Amino acid sequence: MNAPTTVTESAWFKWRYLAPRYWPVWLGLGLMKIMAMLPFRWQLAMGRQIGYWIGRIAKRRRRIAQINLGLCFPELSQSEQAALLEAHFEALGIGLFETAMAWWGSDAKLQGLARVEGVEHLQRAVASGKGVILLTGHFTMLEIAARFITWHQPFHAMYRSHKNPLYESVMRRERERRIRLPPLPHEDIRGLLRALKKGRAVWYAPDQNHGLRNSIFVPFFGVSACTIMATSRLAAMSGAAVVPYFPKRLPGTAGYEVVILPALADFPSQDVEADTRRINQLLEQYIRQAPAQYLWVHRRFKTQPAGTPSPYNV
Given this model, what pLDDT does residue 78 score?
97
Mean per-residue pLDDT of the chain: 90
Half-sphere exposure (CA, 13 Å, Cβ side) for 204? 30
Decide: residue 168, CB within 10 A, 0-12 exposed, 13-18 middle, 19+ buried: middle
Please report, to the nearest 10 degrees, the dihedral formed by the alpha carbons of residues 70, 73, 77, 80 taken in order.
Answer: -90
Q: What confidence tens digit (pLDDT) does each residue in 242-280 have?
A: 999 999 999 999 999 999 999 999 999 999 999 999 999
Given this model, what pLDDT does residue 8 score?
46
Alpha carbon distance 290, 27 (integer Å): 32
Q: What confidence tens digit (pLDDT) does each residue in 61-114 have?
A: 999 999 999 999 999 999 999 999 999 999 999 999 999 999 999 988 899 999
Cβ partners under 8 Å of residue 188, min gap 6:
none
Query: Which amino acid appears at position 97 of this protein?
Result: F
Q: What confidence tens digit (pLDDT) does each residue in 223-247 have?
A: 999 999 999 999 999 999 999 999 9
Question: In the predicted model, what is the mean pLDDT of residues 160-178?
Answer: 74
- Where are the chain's structural domains? 21-313
Given this model, what pLDDT does residue 179 score?
64
Largest CA distance in the chain: 69
pTM (two decimals): 0.89
* Residues 43 and 35: beta-carbon distance below 8 Å: yes
Please report, to the nearest 10 degrees, the dihedral formed by the alpha carbons of residues 214, 140, 99, 7 taken in order.
Answer: 20
Q: Which residues pair with 54 in a beta bridge?
A: none
Decide: residue 283, CB within 10 A, 0-12 exposed, 13-18 middle, 19+ buried: buried
Q: Could you give the C-alpha distances from 35 to 239, 256, 304, in angstroms and in order?
A: 42, 18, 40
* Residues 302 and 296: beta-carbon distance below 8 Å: no
Pairing of strands 201-204, 156-159: parallel
Q: Which of 47, 35, 42, 82 is nearest to 62 (CA)?
A: 82
Given this model, what pLDDT does residue 314 score?
64
Name the pLDDT band for 182 (thresholds 50, 70, 90).
confident
Please report, to the nearest 10 degrees, the dihedral formed by the alpha carbons of residues 295, 299, 305, 306 taken in order.
Answer: 180
Tell me the chain's radius of gyration from C-alpha atoms.
20
Q: Which of 160, 49, 39 is nearest to 101 (CA)?
A: 39
